[in-house]
Amino acid sequence: MKRTLFLLLSSFVLLLPVSAQKKKQASGKEPLFGKAMATYPISSRELSGACFYLVSGHGGPDPGAIGTYLDHKLHEDEYAYDIVLRLGRELLMRGAKVHFIIQDKKDGIRNGRILKNSKRETCMGKAIPLDQVARLKQRSQKIDALYNKDKATYKRAIFVHVDSRSQGKQTDVYFYHAPGSKQGKRLADRMRSTFASKYKKHQPGRGFKGTVSDRNLYVLRNTRPVGVYLELGNIRNSRDQQRLVLENNRQALAKWIAEAIVADYKGKK
């Protein structure tokens, strides 16, 4: 009798590992990331309930600022778009809902230093006007139309640009929020402090001089979500260009922005 009981218990123990196998990790798919990166793991739910409207500057007929790097032209819209895709992927991996307002169905997330320019970008399928006011109005209206439908309790619009100044003017990433927006300022401050801590860790002694300020920009003034507008550097400065042309740096920018967003979201809850 004792031997029979032992055998039964042994059989039960042997079956446990099969029934207790880990469930397959959840994943999602976004074709805009390109074939190699389209599928992404959902590694956490820390941004569950949050919704983001990601906007890369310019696009379509307007390449934005242009710099020269090793006899190649660097176009603002291409680098801003690549970083926005990377940022969106980081947010999706954390359980967020993400809208990509500017889209290029061919490019995807790209590696390499030189991102070739095209005019394929659309505003979620609609042709982008060349006229600046019409262009800004189009994307602002699209954001608000989505905002009115989304049920999330935390909604943020992130606008990504690259500045153009004299070649000798090096700048750190800097951040704008709408005048009077306390939540926008809080998120912008969070981004700045995150970048400062990352620079302190990875480039000790360099310091970080990026700033936070309010600015009466059209897209900040005419969209309903709390917004932050980022300028990633001077596309004409050789040192700032390294922030753009090195794919690891583009990924780091996206990850740091995502980490700041997570900290802001957790702080709000």
Question: What is the tens place of the pLDDT at every residue in 92-136?
Answer: 999 999 999 999 999 999 999 999 999 999 999 999 999 999 999
10-14, 166-170, 248-252, range with the lowest pLDDT: 10-14
- Please say if the pLDDT value at position 10 is more than 70: no
- pTM as predicted: 0.91
State how beta strands 126-127 and 154-163 pair.
unpaired
What distance in Å separates the CA atoms of residue 210 and residue 172, rounded to the nearest whole number?
A: 5
Instruction: Give the mean model confidence (pLDDT) for residues 140-160.
Output: 98
- Please say if the pLDDT value at position 268 is more than 80: no
Tens digit of each residue's pLDDT (9 = 90 or more) over 186-209: 999 999 999 999 999 999 989 999
| Domains detected in the chain | 27-268 (3.40.630.40)
83 contacts 243 by C-beta, under 8 angstroms: no
Tens digit of each residue's pLDDT (9 = 90 or more) over 52-62: 999 999 999 99
What distance in Å separates the CA atoms of residue 160 and residue 100, rounded to the nearest whole number?
A: 12
What distance in Å separates the CA atoms of residue 30 and residue 39, rounded to the nearest whole number?
A: 6
pLDDT of res. 14: 40
